[in-house]
Structure 1
Amino acid sequence: MRLIHPRTPPVFALLPLISALLMAGCAAGPDFHVPQGPTAATYLAAQPPQTGAQTLHNTDAIGWDWWRVMGSDELDQKVEHALQSNLDIRAARARLEQVAHLTEAVAGHAKPQLSADSGLGRTRIGAAELGPDYRQTPPFSAYAGGLAGTFDLDLFGAIKRSVEQHQAQETLANAELDAVMLNVSAQVVYQSIRSASANSRWCIIAMLLDIERNRLTLMQQAMLGGATTQDEVDRQQRLITDIEAQAPVLLQERAAAENALAVLSGVLPAQWTESTLTLEDLVLPKELPLTLPSALASQRPDILAAQAHLQVASAAVGVATANRYPHIELRASLSEQGIFSGPAGIAWNAIGGLTAPLFDGGSLHAAQQAAEADYSAALAGYQQVVIRAFGQVADGLQALNHDAALSTASETALASATGSRDRTKKAYLAGGASQLQQLDAERELQSRRYQNVGVRAQRLTDSAALILSTAGSIAHPAG
Structure 2
Amino acid sequence: MRRLILVIALVALSGCATLAPERERPAMPVPEAWNAPAQTGPLAGVDELGWRDVFPDSALQKLISTALHQNRSLRQAVLAMDKARAQFGIARADRIPNIDASGQNSNQRLPADLHGGIEGIDRQWNVGLGISSFELDFFGRVKSLEDSALESYLATEEARRAAHISLVSQVARGYLTLAGDREHLALARETLESRQATLDLTMAQLAHGMSTELARHQAEEVVAVAQAEVARLTAQVAMDENALAVLVGVPVPELGLPARAINDVALRTTVEPGLPSELLTRRPDILEAEHRLWAAGAEIGAARAAFFPRIGLTTTAGLASLELTDLFDSAQRAWTFVPSITLPLFDAGRNKARLEAAKAEQQIRVAQYEQTIQNAFREVSDALAKNQGYEGQVKAQARRAASAEKSRLLVDQRFSAGLESAFAVHDAERTLFTARQNLLDARLARKLAMVELFTALGGGWQENGLHASAQ
Q: Distance in 2 between matches of 1:318 and 1:473?
A: 36
Q: Taking structure 1 as reference, are residues 372 and 249 closer, same or farther at Cα in structure 2, changes over 3 Å only?
A: same
Q: How many residues are treated as equivalent by the alignment? A: 448
Give the CA deviation at 1:371: 0.6
* Map of 1:102 onto structure 2: 87
Q: Distance in 2 between matches of 1:75 and 1:414?
A: 28
Whole-Å separation in 2 of the counterparts to 1:432 and 1:341:
121
Contact 2:74 2:164 in 1 (8 A): yes
Show CA shifts across 1:269-289 (max 9, x none).
Answer: 685645523313224644244
What is the match of residue 397 of structure 2? Answer: 410
Give yes or no for the alignment of 1:112 onto 2:97: yes
Q: Could you give the per-residue CA deviations for residues 219-247 of structure 1, whole angstroms, max 9, x where no partner exists?
A: 11222233321122111101101111111
Give the corresponding residue for 2:385: 398
Equivalent in the alignment of 1:155: 138
Contact 1:79 1:188 in 2 (8 A): yes
Distance 1:284 1:428 in 2: 42
Q: Distance in 1 between matches of 2:324 and 2:404?
A: 111
Instruction: Call closer, same or farther: CA 1:394–1:152 in 2, change over 3 Å.
Output: same
Measure how far apart 1:32 and its partner are: 2.4
CA contact (8 A) 2:165 2:455 kept: yes
Q: How does 1:103-252 map to 2 (within 5 A)?
A: 103-125=88-110, 135=117, 137-149=119-131, 151-252=134-235
- What is the one-letter code of the residue matched to 2:124? A
* Residue 310 (structure 1) aligned with residue 293 (structure 2): yes
CA contact (8 A) 2:454 2:460 kept: no
Secondary structure of 2:69's counterpart equals helix
**Is 1:73 matched up with 2:64?**
no
Moved more, 201-210 or 266-275: 266-275
- 1:353 and 2:340 matched: yes
Candidates 256, 266, 273, aligned match of 1:290: 273
- After superposition, residues 56-71 of structure 1 pair within 5 angstroms as 61-62=46-47, 65-66=50-51, 68-71=53-56
CA distance in 1, matches of 2:139, 2:437: 70
**Pairwise mapping of residues 313-332 of structure 1 onto structure 2 (< 5 A)?**
313-332=296-315
TM-score normalised by structure 2 residue count: 0.84
Name the residue aligned to 2:359. 372
What SS does the aligned partner of 2:101 have? strand
Letter in 1 for 2:93: G
Q: 1:135 to 1:362 in 2, by over 3 A?
A: farther
* Deviation at residue 201 of structure 1 after TM alignment: 1.1
Unaligned runs of 5+ in 2: 1-12
Residue type of the alignment partner of 2:127: G
Q: Contact 1:117/1:145 (CA < 8 Å) preserved in 2?
A: yes
Query: Could you tell me how far 1:383 is from its partner in structure 2?
Result: 0.8
Question: Would you say the 8 A contact 1:55–1:288 is kept in 2?
Answer: no
**Partner Cα distance (2:343, 2:44) in 1:** 55
Query: 2-side partners of 1:183 and 1:403: how far apart?
Result: 23
- Structure 1, residues 311-334: CA drift from partner, whole Å, max 9, x if none? 111111111111211122333211
**What is the SS of the residue equivalent to 1:290?**
coil
Aligned twin of 2:9: none
1:36 aligns with 2:27: yes
- CA drift of 1:152 comes to 3.5
Cα separation, 2, equivalents of 1:275 and 1:121 = 79
* AA partner of residue 313 (structure 1): A
Letter of the 1:121 counterpart = S
- Deviation of 1:408 after TM superposition, in Å, equals 3.5
User: Which position in structure 2 is the counterpart of 1:84?
Assistant: 69
Once the two structures are TM-superposed, the CA of residue 295 in structure 1 deviates from its matched residue by 0.2
Q: Is the 8 A contact 1:61 1:299 kept in 2?
A: no
What SS does the aligned partner of 2:146 have? Answer: helix
Aligned partner of residue 42 in structure 1, secondary structure = coil
Q: Return the letter of the residue paired with 2:58.
A: D
Check 1:435–1:234 CA distance in 2 against 1; reply closer, same or farther (3 A cut): closer
Q: For structure 1, which segment, 314-323 or 102-111, has the greater mean C-alpha deviation from structure 2 after superposition? A: 102-111
Structure 1 equivalent of residue 455 of structure 2: 468
Q: Name the TM-score, length of structure 1 as normaliser.
A: 0.83
Separation in structure 1 between the aligned mates of residue 111 and residue 260 of structure 2, nearest angstrom? 88
Question: Where in structure 2 are the equivalents of 1:37-52 lying within 5 Å?
Answer: 37-38=28-29, 40-44=31-35, 47=36
The one-letter amino acid paired with 2:143 is K
CA-atom RMSD in angstroms: 3.3
What amino acid is aligned across from residue 456 of structure 1 in structure 2? R
One-letter amino acid of the counterpart of residue 98, structure 2: Q
Q: Which residue of 2 aligns with 1:261?
A: 244
| Partner SS state of residue 308, structure 2 | coil
1:456 to 425, 439, 443: 443
Question: What is the rounded CA distance, in whole Å, between the counterparts of 1:472 and 1:268 in structure 2?
Answer: 27
CA distance 1:342–1:290, change in 2 (3 Å): closer
Moved more, 139-148 or 418-427: 418-427
TM-superposed CA distance for 1:474, in Å, is 0.7
CA distance in 1 between partners of 2:373 and 2:42 (Å): 22
**What amino acid does structure 2 have at the position aligned with 1:115?**
D
**CA–CA separation in structure 1 for the residues paired with 2:410 and 2:211:** 25
2:45–2:272 contact (8 Å) kept in structure 1: no
Please list the CA deviations of residues 92-126 of structure 1 after superposition, one character each: whole Å capped at 9, or x if unmatched.
Answer: 22222222232223212222321112222321246
Distance in structure 2 (CA, Å) of the matches to 1:126 and 1:472 = 80
* Letter in structure 1 aligned against 2:27: Q
Cα distance change, pair 468–62 in 1 and its aligned pair in 2 (3 A): farther
3-state SS in 2 of match to 1:118: strand
Q: In structure 2, the residue corresponding to 1:149 is in which secondary structure?
A: strand
What is the deviation of 1:462? 1.8
- Seen in structure 2, the aligned counterparts of structure 1 residues 314 and 57 have a Cα distance that, compared at 3 Å, is farther
Counterparts in 2 of 1:30 and 1:473: CA distance versus 1, 3 Å = farther
Deviation at 1:368, TM superposition (A): 1.0
Q: CA deviation at 1:307?
A: 0.8
1:7 corresponding residue in structure 2: none
In structure 2, how many angstroms separate the alpha carbons of the residues matched to 1:227 and 1:260?
A: 50
Contact 2:14 2:136 in 1 (8 A): no
Give the C-alpha shift of residue 373 in structure 1.
Answer: 0.9
* In structure 1, C-alpha distance between the alignment counterparts of 2:110 and 2:325, rounded to whole Å: 16
